[in-house]
Structure 1
């Protein structure tokens, strides 16, 4: 039995079936988050699925594996491109569900804008046949939306908390993401320089970032089973960044260690204060 609504956080990937001009189907794995009376996604404007949806809004949807293999029966619905002023609703819903993974995904899309099938990111709006609005977080059930025309996307519940152009990751999100990449790089460089011999250096260059990533993945992601509170998460982050800076300093890279630590400290604190 498909459970699109009963447990919206359980399904990580969805198989989106769109239709070409000749009627044949194309299946694409995608991330989706429930909002009000529909589902929102995020994708490049020049992607093939956007072109197919613009030609034919009829779609089918099913939870799936990473590669797009459906895990349940297909459900029919309609899809459309969100107006620019509602794109922020899509990004907030996806960020609530997928956490930092969505920020990485959004950054990847931004970096891929020059590609032939890239372009600026747009919000996808999907309404499944027979679906009714969910109760909102405040416990008030919104009135059911009026039947929408074929080219009208589903509406979010409540007013938007953002404005036009606020759909992508914020500058702080980008800075925090890049700082976390630098954290792994610092462990890799420090590990490679901390021992004699190329083999041992290569092994540590891989082992230390992997170890830091395992610690991070156990306690810090938004959906981690053992996610720490704000104080505990701040302590773990400061420990990881301090250890990385200390490793750089111990291997003769003191100026880099100081610059890394001085730049990381305010970002770590700012990211935790925003939680």
Structure 2
């Protein structure tokens, strides 16, 4: 029986064969990372393969080339959609295997969310036939693909399982928070000064900070449901701060723009390095 390489330097692409309602097969190349005795993937929620898996969890899998051409025999298995609270396991496993390439991929999925077949990203869990769950050493938390022991209490969602945070905010926390407020203020001031007429100025003074806040809350906030990885978050933050500084400079506030950008850059980098 062919066994896939389960190390981080193993196969890069996998052909995932899912089945339509009429029984015909559809093959999609996908990234997968090994976790325990199974595999995790990451894909848009409205993609066709997700719909086919929800209707029929039977799948076949094989290592493949970039275009989906299989490189070995197909192996049968079952696939399912991970609960939202377990999606972090999939992203961590994929980031360990693919590194920054996965961060770029996750950012691409986030930007393509409005597409018809986009939507929020979901995690895929795949177990191949004949694979048995690995033993669970004492003290190791079972993965999403492994059954939890009967005496294991259910894991709570979100960061609450880590308990309350001790101590007050650090000086860096305060500086980063104030810098984020300055970001919104920069968009408001730049928007108000970028057009003629009080009505249009007021509208832009509200619209630009709201837009920046929506982006921040969606992909950058600590408790965002679709929070980007470190590389993706750093790229988006630098884009937001650079755009705000450019808006200030374009409206005749170049000294303020330079000071704002020079002060924000080290704070953005420091906040992401601390994650």
Q: TM-score range by the shorter chain?
A: 0.5 to 0.7
Partner of 1:224: 224
Q: Structure 1 stretches of 5 or more lacking a match?
A: none
Question: 1:10 and 1:175, CA in 2 relative to 1: closer, same or farther beyond 3 A?
Answer: farther
CA change 1:145–1:14 in 2 (3 A) is closer
Contact persistence 1:43–1:122 (CA under 8 A):
yes
Q: 1:262 Cα shift?
A: 2.6
**Higher mean Cα deviation, 130-139 or 85-94?**
130-139
Note if contact 1:79-1:126 (Cα within 8 Å) is conserved in structure 2: yes
User: Would you say the 8 A contact 1:17–1:28 is kept in 2?
Assistant: yes
For residues 235 and 116 of structure 1, the distance between their equivalents in structure 2, rounded to whole angstroms, comes to: 25
Counting matched residue pairs gives 275
Deviations 1:48-80 (A, max 9, x none): 000111111110111111111111111110001
Distance 1:151 1:115 in 2: 43
Q: Which residue does 2:58 correspond to in 1?
A: 58
Structure 2 unaligned segments of length 5 or more: list them: none
- In 2: Cα distance, 1:168 partner to 1:3 partner: 51
**Does the C-alpha gap of structure 1 residues 230 and 193 become closer, same or farther in structure 2, counting only changes over 3 Å?**
same
Deviates more, 1:127-136 or 1:6-15: 127-136
Shift of 1:13: 0.9
Change (3 A) 1:167 1:17: farther
Change in CA separation of 1:216 and 1:68 when aligned onto 2, cut-off 3 Å: farther
Q: Which moved more, 1:244-253 or 1:141-150?
A: 244-253
Counterpart Cα distance in 2 of 1:84 and 1:211: 25
Q: Considering only aligned residues, what root-mean-square deviation do their CA atoms show, in Å?
A: 11.0
Provide the C-alpha distance between the structure 1 equivalents of 2:145 and 2:65, rounded to a whole number of angstroms. 31
Q: 2:103, 2:232 within 8 Å by CA — same for their partners in 1?
A: no
In structure 2, the CA distance between the partners of 1:18 and 1:136, relative to structure 1 (3 Å rule), is same
Q: Distance in 2 between matches of 1:6 and 1:206?
A: 51
Q: Deviations over 1:199-220 (max 9, x none)?
A: 9999999999999999999999
Cα deviation code 1:104-131 (max 9, x no counterpart): 1111111111111111111111010111
| Most deviating of 188-197 and 168-177 | 188-197
Change (3 A) 1:77 1:210: farther
- Which structure has the larger Rg over C-alpha atoms? 2
**Cα pair 1:86 1:160 within 8 Å, conserved:** no
TM-score of the two chains, using structure 1 as the length reference: 0.55
Contact 2:100 2:231 in 1 (8 A): no
TM-score (norm 2): 0.55
Between 1:95-104 and 1:225-234, the stretch displaced more is 225-234
Distance 1:153 1:70 in 2: 41
Q: CA deviation at 1:37?
A: 2.8
Quote the offset at 1:133 in angstroms.
3.8
